[in-house]
Structure formats: structure tokens, C-alpha cells
Structure 1
Amino acid sequence: MIVYVLYGGQSPEHEVSLKTAATVMHALDTQKHEVYPIYISREGLWTGLGRMPEEGLAAEQLTPASRHADAASSLGEVLAVEFGRTGEKVVLPLLHGANGEDGTVQGLLELLDIPYVGNGILSAAMTLDKDVTHRLAGLAGIRQTAYEVVTRRQWDEDRTGVLRRLENRGLLPGYVKPATLGSSIGISRCENSAELEAGIDEALRYDVKLVVEREVIGREIQVAVMGNDRPKASLPGEFLHGVKFFDFRAKYADPKLRMSVPAEIPAAAAAEIRESAIRAYEALCCCGLARVDFFLGEDGLVYLNEINALPGFTGTSMYPVMWERTDGTSYAALIEKLMDYALERRHTQKSVSSVR
């Protein structure tokens, strides 16, 4: 089977995508598959690297310079040369954030009629937007912390009024988050009005819509979910980090970071978290995979934090480790399973469209 690996992208999470792609390509069975890496630069230029050699690619080979000056011509060459190959195909879109995890690339692949790993257009767009996730999870009856949405227009027109609204809602201490970014980029923890104002200014550098969430005192617990029509949830996991705010550096550069899988939490809480993860997965129309994050509060209650429709697959990522500890699925076998789910979904779609 021809396996295309899309990575890089224009999101601030570009470097995370590179780490994920390097790890995934190293794990792919080149005796079983023809692997074709496709790099998207920070400027949005697409470059096909040709068939990956069996020995893999060195780090410096992952980010080649494009021969094209604009995105359209670079994408046109990739469409004609790379995606024009004959044979069974599947795409691994290892792109985080906007223009990759938000349904845009998924829409392109739907037009090309090529199956791809992960969530479809609708679920990709909804899960990337923290505001939309909150709304749909609330409709599904899933407990969440208090939150408010702030737009750039609201902030520009009435900064004082926005601050008053957030403080009156009791959102301090709390977190200011860009609505459509991950990896803790642009997020600030705020304890007072001055920090809240600075946090909103910082987050608006990355997005035109923000969510401000009341802090939940407790532990952050993660669950890996996998599947299409019959999703299943892994054992819960927890990062042990010892910091108040689990920011980008703590996630990707802290040598003291440790995983606890399964998380050492009461059995009843673990069962509730796994059940709630599947409910959230289904409420957001997810398929293939997602990581669902919760808070286990000091009050003993479980609160949904967010859904990550394309969780990281780096060497320190929780998603593959949780499956290995749950049912023994290795990293390489997990990728094969996810590709199988992509092919299964495309088969189901074809069976429906053929009846129309």
C-alpha cells in the first residue's frame, strides 16, 4: 500500500508535526508499504520527497526547500506527481492546528477520493475549536468548567467591559486559550485582572476567538479513543510534571516529565472518565482516533477539558503509550490499526454513495 505522510504546515505547531512525522515514518514497515513523505513549509509550500528509502530520512532531509514560489504551483505538482501514483493509498495527515487539523486538508483528500487517518471534515473542524467543543459537549450533558468566549472585535471595542464580564463570571484564577490551537501555545494562566488582560492580548496574537476557562483544582487525566462506529477507550493516563501550568516547554522539553499509565485514580473515576471520553467522541462525530482530556477535581468530580482529534505521536506522547499499556498494541501496530480504520471508513462511505 502507498502511504503518504503529510507533515509540517503553517501552524505554530510546525515543530511538533516534524517530531511526530519523524517518529511515525521510523515505525512504518517499508517492507509492507511504499512511504512517500510530503512536507508543507511554514509558508504553505508543498514538496514531495519521493519514495522514502528503507533506512529512513535524516532530520535535515525532512524540511527540503521548495522549487516553487507559491502554494498553488507547489500543490499542483504534488497532486500530479505524488497523488497521481497508481495503487491502494492511504494518507497520514500529521498536521497540527490550522490548515491541517481543522478539516481543510481533510476536504482536499475527500475531493481526491483518498482515504486518510483520523477525523473527517466536520469533526476535525469542531474539535479544533474549543468554543464549539464546549457547546456540543454541554448539549451532550458532559460536565465542564465555567467558561466564556471572547472575540477580537469584542476586545477592541470594549476592553474594560470584557474584563468586567469575565471577572463577574468568577473565571479567576483561570486560563486564556486561543480557540483553535494546541500544545499550550498562546495559553496563559491568570490570577488577577492585569494578568487576564495580558493573557488576552497574548492569545489574540494566535487567534481571533478565545475561550477563558475557570481553573479546576485537581489532576489532568487523558484517555485515548480509537475506532469508527464502535469506539473504545484506553486506560486513563497522567503526566507527572510538578508544575502549575503544563505549558509547551513542560510538554516537550522537560527532562523530568514522566507518564503514569494507568493513572493512579479511584476505579470509579477511571470508569467515568472512559465512559465520558466515548460520549464526547461521539458527540463531536469523531472517527479514527482522538485523545480526550479531563480534570479530576479535588471535589471528586470529572470535568471535560478538551478533545484533541490529532494527538501527538512523538516519543513522549501519551496516546500510543496508553494503548500499549491497555492492550499491548505496539506503536507500529497502532499505526496499522489507524490506517485500517481509514480504509474501513472509506468503504462505508462508498457503500452509501453507491445507493444514491
Structure 2
Amino acid sequence: MKVGVIFGGKSGEHEVSLQSAKSVMDALDPLQYTIVPIGITRDGRWQVGKGAIKALETAKVAESKGTTQSPKNYINSTVGGLTPASTTRSVDMLPPALVNEIDVAIPVLHGTYGEDGSIQGLLELVGVPYVGAGILASAVGLDKIVMKQMFAAVGIPQVRYVAFTRSQWRTNPEELLDLVERQLAYPCFVKPTNLGSSVGISKVKSREQLAEAIALAAQYDRKMIVEQGLDVREIEVAVLGNDRPMVSVAGEIIPSNEFYDYEAKYVGGHSKLIIPAELSDEQREKVEHYAVAAFQAIDCSGLARVDFFIERATAVCW
């Protein structure tokens, strides 16, 4: 079976995608699968084979030299990334390998154009089977605001939050700051709505920091969300399956920084993952129940990672 691993992409999580793709390809058994690397540059050009592999090797070298990108220079930097090449087809042409040379695709694109249903829709249009969630679940799962609305509809408890657009922020920033301070207490977290890997996320403890954090998040997305900060444990599980999903053993993340930011996830390697997490039977049952409920609420399929906060003071799942 020929497996196309698609990585890179135009989002702010381009570098993370390269690391993920290397992990996936290292894990595929070469005796069972023929791996076809398919890379997408930051400007949307496609590379297949050696050119894509070269980008992975470059990313590995950059990482070993301590030059892994931080969120602030993520979008425009080219360190360790896929760059346009003379042999690359135009952005309006898909590589023949996408249709003619693979039996199934594994999209390992992170963030916009990768986890938001875009690549999933493209693969369905060209008739290529792919791993992971479909168009709807991908789109909803990346949009934190829509996802929270769907979770609320099925009774999944959540932290308090305030959501707004970049246009609203630019039109009347002081009014929005007042709204956040009325609804939430410090500390709180400011996030771009449609992005992952903690890119553009800030923990804020004052009105001045809040304004700076919103301005940063607005560079990555037209929609922002501010969530209440809590004293919590961070728990995660995998959910696998389609109509009858299974939940994995839970793990607990111990971040190396004040919160699980980009640096704590990808730089230094000092964050810890404890498996299995130390949970009571009641906590474990709640995590498993809400993990399946979240998976089904957005019509997910294949696989998902579902994250939880368990508040230390009350031991309640969120």
C-alpha cells in the first residue's frame, strides 16, 4: 500500500507539521507501506519525494541547532521550512502523485488549511481516502468558538469565555476590555480561534497585558477567544473509532513553563507526560464519558485527542 504523508502548509504551525510528519513516517513499517512524502510550502506550492524529504532534514538540523521557531516569528520565517523550488508545480496544479501514486493519505498538516476541513475536502474531491476526521468535524474541531457552542448543546461543562472578532476589537478596544473584565477574572488566556500548538496564545494578569495579547492573537485570526484561567491539572486522552469510539488510558501533562505554551511543547523537552494519570474512578469515568460526548458532538471519526482541565480545588472536569 502506498501511503501519502502530507505536511507543511500555509498556517502558522508549518514547523510543527514537519516534526509531526517525521514522527509519522518513522512509525510506518517500511515492510508494509511505501511512503510517499508530499510537502506543501508556506506559499502553497507542492513538493513530492526528495524535495519534501529535504525539508524534513533541514527542519531536523534547525532543531538540533536550537533554532526552532517561536510563535512571534512563525509566519514569515523560513528556518527549516519548505521553500519554493524550480521543480515545484504552480500553486494551481496538484502533483500527480496525489491522485495517481497513493492509495491513502495521512494529512499531517496543522492549523488552517490542514485541520480545518480544507485538505479533507480536496482529498474527497479527487477521490483519495484519508486518515482522520472528515470535513465537518475538522472545521468545527479547529474553530474553538463553534466547538464550544456544540459542546454546550450536549451538556459538556466548560470554562467561562468571551469571544469576539478582530473587527470588533479594532472598532472599540476599550469596550471589549471592559467586557472581558466584567465576565472574567485575571489570570485569563487569550487565543486565536482557529489555530493550535499554542501559537499566538498568552496568559495575562492585567488589563495592559490583555490588550497586548489580543493584538497578538489578532495577527493570526479574525476571531479571538478569552478564557478564564483556573488552577487545573491538564489531562488528555485519545479517542479511536467511528460509530463506536474507544477511549485510551489518560495521561497528565506537567508543563515546564507557567502553562503549556509553544516553548513548553516543542523547545527544550522538559515538559513531562505521566501515563497513566493518577485519577480517581469517578474522575476517570467522567473523562471517558465527556471524551466520547465531545467526539460525537462534532461527528468526529478515526481519531482525536481530547484535552481536559480538572480543577484542583473541586476536582471537577472541564
* Alpha-carbon separation, structure 1, partners of 2:83 and 2:170: 40
For residue 5 of structure 1, what is the aligned residue in structure 2?
Answer: 5
Q: Which residue of 1 aligns with 2:69?
A: none
Counterpart of 2:57 in structure 1: which amino acid? Answer: A
Report the secondary structure of 2:3's partner residue. Answer: strand
Alignment match, 2:92: 72
Q: Give 5+ residue unaligned stretches, structure 1.
A: 304-356
**1:59 to 2:54 alignment:** no
Q: Distance in 1 between matches of 2:175 and 2:285?
A: 42
1:259 match: 273
Structure 1 partner of 2:24:
24
Instruction: Give the whole-Å Cα distance in 1 for the aligned partners of 2:251 and 2:204.
Output: 26
Match of 1:318 in 2: none
Indicate the RMSD between aligned Cα atoms, in angstroms.
Answer: 2.1
Could you tell me which runs of 5 or more consecutive residues in structure 2 were left unpaired when the two chains were aligned.
60-80
On the 8 A contact 1:145/1:214 being kept in 2, the answer is yes
Shift of 1:64: 6.8
**What residue is the counterpart of 1:240 in the other structure?**
254
Whole-angstrom CA distance in 1 between matches of 2:270 and 2:83: 33
Distance in 2 (alpha carbons) for counterparts of 1:153 and 1:57: 37
Residue 83 (1) aligns with residue 83 (2): no
Hey, what does 2:133 align to over in structure 1? 119
Moved more, 42-51 or 167-176: 42-51
Aligned to 1:161: 175
TM-score (structure 2 length as normaliser): 0.88
The percent identity for this pair of structures is 39
Q: Deviations over 1:241-262 (max 9, x none)?
A: 3532211010111332221011
Correspondence for 1:222 = 236
Question: By how many angstroms is 1:270 displaced?
Answer: 1.4
How far off is 1:60 after superposition?
3.6
- Secondary structure of the 1:7 match is strand
Task: List 4+ stretches of structure 1 deviating above 2 A.
Answer: 50-53, 60-70, 241-244
1:276-309 Cα shifts (integer Å, max 9, x gaps): 1010000011001111111000221110xxxxxx
Structure 2 distance, partners of 1:43, 1:57, is 14
> Structure 1 residues 169 and 159 mapped into 2: Cα distance closer, same or farther (>3 Å)?
same
Alpha-carbon distance in structure 1 between the residues aligned to 2:97 and 2:272: 43
Q: Shift in Å at residue 188 of structure 1?
A: 0.7
Which residue type is aligned with residue 301 of structure 1? V
When normalised by structure 1's length, the TM-score is: 0.79
Q: Corresponding residue for 1:294? A: 308
1:27–1:170 Cα change, 3 Å: closer
**Structure 1 residue identity aligned to 2:91:** A
- Between Structure 1 and Structure 2, how many residues are aligned? 295
Cα deviation per residue 1:112-153 (whole Å; 9 max; x = unaligned)? 111100000000000000001110000010000111112011
Mapped pair 1:36 → 2:52: no
Amino acid in structure 1 at the alignment position of 2:315: G
Structure 2 letter corresponding to 1:123: A
Query: What amino acid does structure 2 have at the position aligned with 1:83?
Result: V
Residue aligning to 1:315: none
Q: RCO higher in 1 or 2 (8 Å CA, sep ≥ 6)?
A: 1
Residue number among 126, 151, 160 corresponding to 1:146 in the alignment: 160
Tell me: CA distance 1:52–1:7, structure 2 relative to 1, closer, same or farther (3 Å). closer
Counterpart selection for 2:108 from 87, 90, 94: 94
- Distance in structure 2 (CA, Å) of the matches to 1:64 and 1:146: 41
| Structure 1 residue 275: Cα displacement | 1.1
Asked whether 1:181 is paired with 2:200, we answer: no
SS of alignment partner, residue 100 of structure 2: coil
Counterpart secondary structure, 2:230: coil
Query: C-alpha separation between the residues in 1 aligned to 2:304 and 2:292?
Result: 10
Structure 2 residue corresponding to 1:137, chosen from 151, 157, 160: 151
Instruction: Please give the alpha-carbon distance, in whole angstroms, between the structure 1 residues aligned to 2:31 and 2:178.
Output: 61
* Separation (CA, whole Å) in 2 of partners of 1:194 and 1:52: 43
> Which structure 2 residues correspond to residues 199-214 of structure 1 after superposition, within 5 A?
199-214=213-228
Q: Which amino acid aligns with 1:197?
A: A
Q: Distance in 2 between matches of 1:57 and 1:51?
A: 7
